[in-house]
Amino acid sequence: MSEAGFFTTRLDEAVGWARKFSIFQYPFVTACCGMEYMATACSHYDVDRFGAGLPRFSPRQADVLFVVGTISHKMAPVLKRIYDQMAEPKWVVAFGVCTCTGGFYDNYATVMGIDTIIPVDVYIPGCPPRPEYVLDGLMKLQVKIQEHGVSGARSAPESRPAELVR
């Protein structure tokens, strides 16, 4: 490692550390998964232990967009807009099978995976995922945030490129 890089690396690490322990989430709760989201946030599982216990209902202030529950085609533009309104750096967690792939609602009304609309960082499958899965997903997100760094680009989105077709 070059000497000039030393400071940058340290800074990256410090900022990554701060970001991963201060996750203000925007819960975009639509459906069944919301119940497990609640369970995760409440006393038994307590997501606040990871520093993610402060949901912000303004996308401007949120760091992580938790998309919780099925997204229908009617809802898709709203989701996209919320994502656009968020301030950088931002991450997206797809919570539950419906947001990951559309689940068993393979029909005219639902979006087959939100990664067709917005990039997704962490997928938490399950219908709905148990709180333990959610905590696991959150820890994976923390690792990802730590690796992101202050200047570095986001690690490549694990999704198909969003192609806007009207």
Partner 1 sequence: MNAASLIQALRDRFPHAVQAAHSYRGDATVLIGRESLLEVARTLKEDPAFQMSFLMDLTAVDFSAYGKKRSPAFFAHSGVAVKPSPEIPDEEPWPGPPAPARFVVVCHLFSLPLKHRLRIEIPVEEADAEVDSLTSVWASANWLEREVWDMFGIRFHGHPNLKRILMYDEFVGHPLRKDYPVNKRQPLIGPIN
Partner 2 sequence: MTDVMTEVAIKLAVVFVMFFGVMNLAGLHTWIERKQSAIIQDRIGANRASIFGFRLMGLLHPLADAVKMFTKEDLVPAGADKVLHTLAPAFSVFFALVAFAGIPFGDRLVLGDRIIELQPAKIDIALLYIFAMLSLGVYGVILAGFASRNNYAMLGGLRATAQMISYEIALGIAIIGIVMVYGTTDLQEIVRGQGGNYWGWIPRWGIVVQPVAFFVFLTAALAETKRIPFDLPEGESEIIGYFVEYSGMKFGMFFLTDFLETILVACLATTLFFGGWQVPYLISDGFHFPWGAVLPVSQWTYVLLGVTSFSIKVLVFCFLFMQIRWTLPRFRYDQLMNLGWLGLFPISVANMLVTAVVLQLTGGRP
Partner 3 sequence: MDPTQTPKSIPGEPETREMLLNVGPAHPSMHGIIRIIAKLDGEQVLDTDVEIGFLHRGFEKMAETVDYNGVMPYTDRLNYVSPLINNVGYCMAVEKLLGLSVPERCHYIRVIVSEISRITDHLTCVGAGAMELGAFSVFLYMIKAREFLWELVEMVTGARLTVSYCRVGGVKGDLPEGFEAQCRHALQETRKVLKEADALLTRNRIFVDRMSGTGKISAEDAISYGITGPFLRGSGVAYDVRKDCPYAVYDRFEFDVPVGTRGDNYDRYLVRMEEMEQSIRIVEQALRDIPPGPVLANPETGRPIPAAEMVDEGKMGRIAGIVDHRAVIDPTLEGAAKSQHGGIEAGEKRVFLPAKEDTYGNIEGLMQHFKLVMYGHGIRPPKGEVYFPVEGANGELGFYVVSDGTGSAYRVRVRPPCFAIMAALPKLLVGDMIADITPTFGSINMIGGELDR
The C-alpha atoms of residue 138 and residue 50 are separated, in whole angstroms, by: 8
Nearer to partner 2, 48 or 158 (CB): 48
Q: State whether residue 129 is helix, strand or coil.
A: coil
The C-alpha atoms of residue 25 and residue 48 are separated, in whole angstroms, by: 11
Candidates 1, 43, 106, 153; binder of partner 1 (CB under 8 A) is 106
32 binds, among partner 1, partner 3, partner 2, none (CB under 5 to 8 A by kind): partner 3
Angle at 89 between CA 124 and CA 150, to 5 degrees: 115
Instruction: Give, as one character, the DSSP assignment of residue 11.
Output: H
Q: Least distance to partner 3 from the beta carbon of 147, Å? A: 29
36 binds, among partner 3, partner 2, partner 1, none (CB under 5 to 8 A by kind): partner 3
Q: Where do we find the tokens 């949901």?
A: 55
Nearer to partner 3, 32 or 162 (CB): 32
Please tell me whether residue 75 binds partner 3 under the rule CB under 8 A: yes
Q: E strand or H helix at 78, and its extent?
A: helix 76-85
Instruction: Give, as one character, the DSSP assignment of residue 110.
Output: B
154 binds, among partner 1, partner 3, partner 2, none (CB under 5 to 8 A by kind): none
The C-alpha atoms of residue 99 and residue 93 are separated, in whole angstroms, by: 9
Please tell me whether residue 117 binds partner 1 under the rule CB under 8 A: yes
Candidates 19, 23, 25, 36; binder of partner 3 (CB under 8 A) is 36
Report the amino acid identity of residue 128.
P
Query: Which residues contact partner 3 (rule: CB under 8 A)?
Result: 28-32, 34-36, 38-39, 42-44, 55, 57, 59, 68-70, 72, 74-75, 78, 82, 104-105, 107-110, 127-128, 130
